[in-house]
Amino acid sequence: SDLQKQEERGELLQPLVFVLLVVCSVLLYFRVSLMDPGFVKSEEEAKADKSEEQSMVIPQVPSNIKMRRCGYCMVKQPMRAKHCQLCQHCVRRYDHHCPWIENCVGEKNHPLFIVYLSVQLIVLLWGAHVAWSGLYFEQSWDWLQHNVLLLMSFLLIVIFTTVVLLLLISHLYLISCNTTTWEFMSHHRISYLRHSESENPFDQGVILNLWRFFC
């Protein structure tokens, strides 16, 4: 049959890989949106000063900066944590609250969020290529009537691709500097950055920043 011939020629491999990428993207979406982004729990107050994050940043941060208690959930905030009023929790290494996934992006799910964006970008670029390959332009009303849905799909994919690409690039840049979106946008309001001698006390070089983040 035609299906068997296509399978023998390897023509079914690309659609299969595309479907697997789409499924992987959906699973990553649910994983990132449902997982704990790094909520600070009240029972961790006694151990906050000895946490891994504290041990790494204490030598680089002025000694007069003390841990403060959150005015909303009343837990001691570790360094780089912030209270999210939408999630009603303090989040370790808070980056931002993403309306796309309806969850915070923080210490625990930030690396997986980057993986999700990368897979999503591949799916969108592949979809844009498929949509573009199906378009053959003619200056006629009949052509527009028959291709309007495909043309709109292509334009919509291009918009989403641009958004995801810019988001991924911005996150990779911030990760390479070992800073977060919140710290980058609110540098003048954060005490441990405002009183620091260096502009970014957490920066340890691009390679080490990326290694510590992903590994």
pLDDT at 90: 92
**84 catalytic residue (yes or no):** no
**Is 183 exposed, middle or buried, given 0-12, 13-18 or 19+ CB atoms closer than 10 A?**
buried
Q: How far apart are CA 122 and CA 55, in angstroms?
A: 38
pLDDT at 37: 94
**pTM of the prediction?**
0.80
Task: Give every CB contact of residue 94 below 8 A, 6+ residues apart in sequence.
Answer: 38, 80, 81, 82, 84, 104, 106, 180, 182
pLDDT at 35: 94
pLDDT at 31: 96
pLDDT at 54: 47
pLDDT at 60: 44
If residue 98 lies in a helix (H) or strand (E), which one and from where to where?
strand 96-98
Q: Which of 24, 70, 73, 98 is catalytic?
A: 98
pLDDT at 55: 45
CB 110 within 8 A of CB 36: no
pLDDT at 180: 95
Nearest CA to 115 out of 71, 161, 171, 63 is that of: 171
Would you write out the chain's pLDDT as a tens digit for each of its 215 residues? 555 555 556 567 888 899 999 999 999 999 999 999 999 887 544 454 555 444 444 434 444 455 678 888 888 888 899 999 999 899 999 999 999 899 999 999 999 999 999 999 999 999 888 888 766 655 555 666 777 787 888 899 999 999 999 999 999 999 999 999 999 998 888 888 887 777 888 999 999 999 999 98
